[in-house]
Chains A and B, each alone.
Chain A
């Protein structure tokens, strides 16, 4: 009797052995182990690639400053980019200006149209928005940038030349092409933002005698604002990094233009247009790597801002 009670409260080793199949085995079974190795190495590869890319760009990008002796201050302040002159000058200010100018211009063009389209898709014509507009937007995202550049080259550049003067190539053409390019991205993300505004907020506003339009701009848009900002910044990041389409229409002149119709250049167009003309390891080549490093830093900054916005959205 006493021994039996003892067995119930504190099982002896003999009793526990019968339920052995329920206990954790040594480690993973063979099949699980293979899957585990595959998944972990895939994740590891991506992380390693990101870290390697960053480190590589930092090392190459800093080479021109640390070894070749190009002044950091000169690169950010001086207004002349002429690596082939004697002595060469590495002032990236016109390129930085060009990058920021086309980015802001494209966002200024795309944002109002994108928000209007997104509101139309989610608030005005829900059915058509879902069945027609969304697939169209997804299609537009998938069009290669060279096609956008080609259209810019054959339609927008001549239009600007004929109606606004100048040679047509320049900031304005680049801004318009980029604006059209980022339009679908901004629209889709903004439409998702409007759609995620709970319906009971719309009902509450309408029940108070607000019109549909008042409900949209007083309730739906403010409630979706952080996500809409994310949409705009995603568009900015894409515009800032785009090279090909911009290069085809901006004119590729490393100068700070005095008007929107004068040719200019950006960080990305300078890299793509002059990389082929430099030899690996030369001073000119190293300077282009530095431009690449600036681009990388900018894209990290965009990601940080997006992270910050979504963090603030979740905490509020």
Chain B
């Protein structure tokens, strides 16, 4: 039921994503894993304070594309990114970019909930402590605020000192979301954040993303086309490393221009 209301709300708040400001401008991005050309010449504009969904079959390069934005591909030996990802006038792929500061502004949520084997409180404050924040009241306020934003405060406020591993899978993923939100990121990258969750937890995360996009630019990789249709303002379809089609979500799903997009969204392959 609420999915319907969300649809309506989305249409009212943002009638035309193309008129919005650009947050990330990607120009001719190529990513190689050794000899494997994983992302081929991708260019796209990711709009500010909107949800951009990346869809496509497994191994199509959408996760690789996502991980090149916050330079997580640096961790993979042999990975090379070429091209430009412009963010506030800076090419994020440039060697002079401080990846530590970059990842403070561009947060990430992973496929599998991955809380640290520590208390709920310590999980949320990890990034802040690493950023040098020590004051107890600042940390406490940040924990309350982030957990509220992630819709987890009521469930956890009495057991902040308990292990994060005592939470359910859906709660763990919302904790990871709170942990990312505590850094007050400007962009949030989500790599199939609900693929390991049940439908109720998935709906909760989607609802949260809809409310978060007012202040955060969201890029989400998803296997679930209904999810993209439900929450995304713009959708990009990847196939074998290339960006086949990119546009407003409604246009892409209702009037795909490429036959491959059409056959993928109608479930003929993937």
Q: B180 — which chain A residues lie within 8 A by C-beta?
A: 207-208
Q: Does A203 contact B (CB under 8 A)?
A: yes
Residue of B whose beta carbon sits closest to that of A208: B127
A219 to B115, CA, bound (A): 10
Residue of B whose beta carbon sits closest to that of A215: B130
CB < 8 Å: which of B115, B129, B131 contacts A218? B129
Report if A223-B117 is in contact (Cβ < 8 Å); known contacts: A206-B75, A210-B126, A210-B130. yes
Q: A203 — which chain B residues lie within 8 A by C-beta?
A: 72, 75, 110, 114
Q: Which of B32-40, B101-109, B148-156, B231-239 contacts A (4 or more CB under 8 A)?
A: B101-109
CB < 8 Å: which of A127, A201, A209, A223 contacts B130? A209
Q: Do A214 and B110 touch across chains, with their CB atoms under 8 A apart? A: no
A114 to B108, CA, bound (A): 34
CB < 8 Å: which of A127, A198, A210, A316 contacts B127? A210
Q: Do A219 and B127 touch across chains, with their CB atoms under 8 A apart? A: no
Q: Does B179 contact A (CB under 8 A)?
A: yes
A209 to B106, CA, bound (A): 9
CB < 8 Å: which of B75, B77, B116 contacts A219? B116
Q: Do B114 and A209 touch across chains, with their CB atoms under 8 A apart? A: no
Q: Do B118 and A222 touch across chains, with their CB atoms under 8 A apart? A: yes
Would you give the shortest CB distance from B41 to chain A, in whole angstroms? 26
- How many residues does chain A have at the interface if contact means C-beta atoms less than 8 Å apart? 19
Q: Does B50 contact A (CB under 8 A)?
A: no
Would you give the shortest CB distance from B72 to chain A, in whole angstroms? 6
Report if A209-B117 is in contact (Cβ < 8 Å); known contacts: A200-B110, A200-B112, A214-B130. no
Q: Do B72 and A208 touch across chains, with their CB atoms under 8 A apart? A: no
Contact digits for A126-159, partner B, Cβ 8 Å, 1 yes 0 no: 0100000000000000000000000000000000
Q: A223 — which chain B residues lie within 8 A by C-beta?
A: 116-117
Q: A198 — which chain B residues lie within 8 A by C-beta?
A: 114
Q: Does B70 contact A (CB under 8 A)?
A: yes
Would you give the shortest CB distance from A2 to chain B, in whole angstroms? 53
A200 to B191, CA, bound (A): 13
A204 to B116, CA, bound (A): 8
Interface size range of chain B in the complex: 20 to 34
Would you give the shortest CB distance from B9 to chain A, in whole angstroms? 30
Q: Does A205 contact B (CB under 8 A)?
A: yes
Q: B163 — which chain A residues lie within 8 A by C-beta?
A: 316
Would you give the shortest CB distance from A169 to chain B, in whole angstroms? 46
Interface residues of B in 37-82 (CB under 8 A from A): 70, 72, 75, 77
Would you give the shortest CB distance from B39 to chain A, in whole angstroms? 19
Q: Does A9 contact B (CB under 8 A)?
A: no
Q: Does B85 contact A (CB under 8 A)?
A: no
Q: Does A211 contact B (CB under 8 A)?
A: yes
Q: B102 — which chain A residues lie within 8 A by C-beta?
A: 209
Q: Do A208 and B114 touch across chains, with their CB atoms under 8 A apart? A: no
Q: B70 — which chain A residues lie within 8 A by C-beta?
A: 207
Q: Do B114 and A204 touch across chains, with their CB atoms under 8 A apart? A: yes
Residue of B whose beta carbon sits closest to that of A213: B130
Q: Do A207 and B117 touch across chains, with their CB atoms under 8 A apart? A: no
Would you give the shortest CB distance from B206 to chain A, in whole angstroms? 21
Report if A209-B104 is in contact (Cβ < 8 Å); known contacts: A201-B114, A223-B117. yes
A198 to B100, CA, bound (A): 21
Would you give the shortest CB distance from A126 to chain B, in whole angstroms? 8
A79 to B179, CA, bound (A): 59
Q: Do A209 and B116 touch across chains, with their CB atoms under 8 A apart? A: no
Q: Do A218 and B75 touch across chains, with their CB atoms under 8 A apart? A: no
Q: Does B243 contact A (CB under 8 A)?
A: no
CB < 8 Å: which of A200, A209, A219, A222 contacts B131? A209
Q: Does B31 contact A (CB under 8 A)?
A: no
Would you give the shortest CB distance from A207 to chain B, in whole angstroms? 4
Q: B129 — which chain A residues lie within 8 A by C-beta?
A: 218
A-B contact pairs, 30 of them (CB 8 A): A200-B110, A200-B112, A200-B114, A201-B116, A203-B72, A203-B110, A204-B114, A204-B116, A204-B179, A206-B72, A207-B107, A208-B103, A208-B104, A208-B127, A208-B180, A209-B102, A209-B103, A209-B130, A209-B131, A209-B183, A210-B100, A210-B127, A210-B130, A211-B130, A214-B130, A218-B126, A219-B116, A222-B118, A223-B117, A316-B163
Question: Taking beta carbons and an 8 Å cutoff, which residues of B are in contact with A?
Answer: 70, 72, 75, 77, 100-104, 107-108, 110, 112, 114-118, 126-127, 129-131, 163, 176, 179-180, 183
Question: Taking beta carbons and an 8 Å cutoff, which residues of A are in contact with B?
Answer: 127, 198, 200-201, 203-211, 214, 218-219, 222-223, 316
